[in-house]
Amino acid sequence: MRMVDIIIKKKENKELTREEISFFVKGFTNGSIPDYQASALAMAICFNGMNKKEIGILTDEMLHSGDTIDLSSIEGKKVDKHSTGGVGDKTSLVLGPLVASCGVKLAKMSGRGLGHTGGTLDKLESIPGVTIDIEKDRFFKQVNDIGIAIVGQTGSLVPCDKKLYALRDVTGTVNSIPLIASSIMSKKLASGSDTILLDVKFGSGAFMKDLDSARELARTMVDIGDELNRDTRAILTDMNQPLGLAIGNSLEVIEAINTLNGHGPSDLVELCVSAGAIMLVQAGRVKTIEEGKELLEENINNKSALNKLCEMVEAQGGDASYIKDPSKFEKAKYIIDVKSNKDGYIKEINALEIGEAAMKLGAGRATKEDIIDFATGIVLEKKVGSKVNKGDTLCKVYSNKEHVESILLEVVESFKITNEELKTLPIIYEIVE
């Protein structure tokens, strides 16, 4: 079998066999297939796509390109959740403790932020002492003991995806639903949980810019999960404005703590409670989504979910006193009010522009080598649909840099103000099962 024949076959929009896909995955992983041939195949897939069968085979072969995690030593059903990334997305910090407080096990491997999207691991590391590098036995014991662990992915999981993702990033082949779906699902399936909930975001701050493409990606990933015998469901959520109010690492941790204290922004609360209810149904903890929502809301009110976050932080070496007293987090030197220059209603808060501004303040990475400033970021005072008068504060910018005039200009321009009164947008648009 020759790699060039596989490339030509996909270039001619023909279906690849399992043998051909397996040949590519094995050869690319072990280095016998060079980058330029892998790039050519990725481009052919970008142009011609893959059918449902091919995507399922590609995912299966990639997830077996390295180690897989066996979670059978953890008692009970294990649930997992994945977000396709967005601005202000601190969902895991709220949702994880919430579902764990209901007796459901969450053994989660998360990622770091790059560009305008924030990473759960970076947010966790803004809590002094927290480690996300935990050996396997300690990981299993922690989930068995307290029901939750959020850690970094091991280097031996899905090595083919790591190599292919890095190549796609520099060859203009990221934007392909078969490649996105197989990348996400190979990692999630290799992580070993019994159920997977996917939060597929769409809008200015998301990878998928519109509802139709988000729906197609969600359907593709749910089909992969079904084909590989894993209970997989998806929600389609809005990212045309940042999620919640806070953008930036310790600022988002503080917002997550406030949410578990019963004082969270309405969109973040709705997303976490709704997603958590679906996860409880998947785990068999409750029979209906409504029953799940009631249980989760009760565990916010009685502080058991907040206590679960404290337990997780302590188990991973962190100082839980920061969870009990968020005022202990380091503050940025400069807190600057960004004010409205006109009267009206907020029509849009461009999440991409806000995310990029936060990154430039130090809250994110332009490259993988960049060092994050945990205290910096942006906290919104207004959301889409809010009425504003000229001079009202739209948001606060938290900076350790003295001269950020150009960033402030970008921030104010990300708010689009109209004279027409607007309806509040829903956060969850659809559930895909």
By annotation, the residues acting in catalysis are 82, 161, 168, 183, 187
How far, CA to CA in Å, does 166 sit from each of 25, 181, 217, 368? 15, 16, 20, 12
DSSP readout, 31-85? Answer: TSS-HHHHHHHHHHHHHH---HHHHHHHHHHHHTSSB----TTS-S-EEEEEE--
Distance between CA atoms of 433 and 430, rounded to whole angstroms?
10
Map tokens 């970094």 to a residue.
152
Distance between CA atoms of 308 and 198, rounded to whole angstroms?
23
Torsion-angle region of 115 (φ positive above 0: left; ψ -120 to 50: alpha; else: beta): left
Strands, E, within 363-427: which ranges? 377-380, 387-388, 393-399, 415-418
Distance between CA atoms of 126 and 192, rounded to whole angstroms?
27
Strands, E, within 185-333: which ranges? 195-202, 231-238, 246-247
Count of alpha carbons within 13 angstroms of residue 95, beta-carbon side = 29
Distance between CA atoms of 310 and 222, rounded to whole angstroms?
33
Q: Which of 412, 395, 52 is CA-nearest to residue 244?
A: 395
